[in-house]
Structure 1
């Protein structure tokens, strides 16, 4: 493994009824570009009373990006948004100075038998001057995302700018997230296609980088995009993401992200005092861990 690359294995994390594989943050690498947190959900079978029911919880200083391959999630937040996010859609909630939200299996999918849930929950840290912006929610259906084919690969640009194309979702600092599928064994040359740090999350199949094989459930991080060519096995799917690193270090405390540790502790106190905005018609509440 070259000294400008890191290989990360998913670590299991228990979210109550749901196990996820955590890829970021990682001990040796806290962020990739502005991306600061990545959880891989599933693939998992749900039904028979077992559904996603993430009760009301807060965020500050970040945007959450939800991207699914199978299943759907109903997002509700304190801004007043209520949106079902399905396969290939992008849900992008910007917390700014403070937001609360819930994530649940839609009522329409409950009691209909076994359903498969598979996707990623991603946090993107906000630039320092945007950390206290007004919260908002943006939704981009799969049909609006740029898609194209080249050299045995199909591409879908979920966010930002890459390969000379631009997604409707630009975010608040230079970034990119691309869903790539190999219809046949082929190579992908990234030279001059991306700006900033690059990470490869292997959804299924495997890639090879300079004789290093990276498989499903692993993430390869390259600190530069120089001379980056990878080989993909047939039927491999991967997420390519990254961008320009933010100039200041970011700190995490539970669901909060900030350049300021004092701000994190203020958010903790605000949540315990229940002064965050609330999701309408929802009295659920996730306590601060360990309290």
Structure 2
């Protein structure tokens, strides 16, 4: 199978001031053993396409005994998307799923009407020093699917399309990019991909989606001569022809899709078009009406005050 063609950089790219709608500098949160940088939701913008939550985890070098230790907690109205560059995380949920995720693999968990999950570092991983680095994002569900049945999907690295051309190494995580399509079924028009750019590479940003963002995980990029460093989410205006360039190499995430069907309320781990639905979920967690996580039943994160 031949690789899909990545078009040449467009000669008439919009000027940076016109092409860029918003630049978001993530808030840094200290979680003890590591930091996260939260790009969405932000004061400037709640969502890019269906993406309503976007966290960079690490990079951090964890010593022996240190690890990710997220106790069981609930979600409604969204899908969680876990993507790692380095390290490993062990996922368990109330459906009985039990799955390690490694770099290049995808965990896509649809919460729908309600699910509980935990994310830990496996015992064998705790026994060695290791780097942890990745992206945790949430995709809001359309109103008609907010109460859908919960589900979990793990996709191996060999199942996701990979395009290598012109100094670009593209992994298509969800939706379609450059003519290649992910096997992951999404409930709204969505695209998501990782692009590793070699020094001097140029990345044309697809124009077919109304809402488009680019998150710089590593390195520096340029848009129409304006330079941006890592830890920035750039949101582009609809329809503009944009080419992203790098002098020394970069790792970026392309994300977006069609606008969501209205704003969303977000509180703790709950997302919904209805405030009343979030209040009901809060009460359900407080009253222990969510299902337990088999194999991780002894701990949980209490409802915040």
TM-score (norm: length of structure 2): 0.91
Distance 1:98 1:230 in 2: 39
Corresponding position: 1:159 with 2:174: yes
Distance 2:174 2:239 in 1: 18
SS of the aligned residue for 1:96 comes to coil
Equivalence map 1:54-65=2 (5 Å): 54-65=70-81
Give the superposition deviation at 1:182. Answer: 1.5
**Native 8 Å contact 2:178 2:206 kept in 1:** no
Which of 45, 51, 58 lines up with 1:35 in the alignment?
Answer: 51
**Native 8 Å contact 2:177 2:206 kept in 1:** no
Equivalence map 1:8-19=2 (5 Å): 8-19=24-35
Which of 160, 170, 185 lines up with 1:145 in the alignment?
Answer: 160
Give the superposition deviation at 1:170. Answer: 3.0
Equivalence map 1:78-117=2 (5 Å): 78-112=94-128, 114-117=129-132
Corresponding position: 1:216 with 2:227: no
Which of 53, 62, 66 lines up with 2:82 in the alignment?
Answer: 66
Partner of 2:9: none
Distance 2:54 2:71 in 1: 19
Q: Deviations over 1:3-51 (max 9, x none)?
A: 6511111211133433211111110100000000011000111133221
Give the superposition deviation at 1:210. Answer: 2.1
Distance 1:287 1:250 in 2: 23
**Native 8 Å contact 1:191 1:226 kept in 2:** no
- Which 4+ residue blocks in structure 1 deviate beyond 4 angstroms? none
Structure 2: which 5+ runs fail to align? Answer: 1-15
Which of 246, 253, 257 lines up with 1:232 in the alignment?
Answer: 246
**Native 8 Å contact 1:66 1:120 kept in 2:** yes
Paired residues, number: 288
Give the superposition deviation at 1:257. Answer: 0.4
Q: Deviations over 1:229-254 (max 9, x none)?
A: 22123321101111011121111010
Partner of 1:6: 22
Give the superposition deviation at 1:268. Answer: 0.6
SS of the aligned residue for 1:122 comes to strand
TM-score (norm: length of structure 1): 0.95
Q: Deviations over 1:132-187 (max 9, x none)?
A: 01101001111111011222211110111121111011311111111111123122
Give the superposition deviation at 1:217. Answer: 1.0
Partner of 1:205: 219
What's the C-alpha RMSD, in Å, of the aligned pairs?
1.4
Corresponding position: 1:249 with 2:263: yes
Structure 1: which 5+ runs fail to align? Answer: none
SS of the aligned residue for 1:266 comes to helix
Distance 1:191 1:171, change over 3 A: closer
Distance 1:56 1:190, change over 3 A: same
Distance 2:270 2:123 in 1: 29
Distance 1:222 1:61 in 2: 26
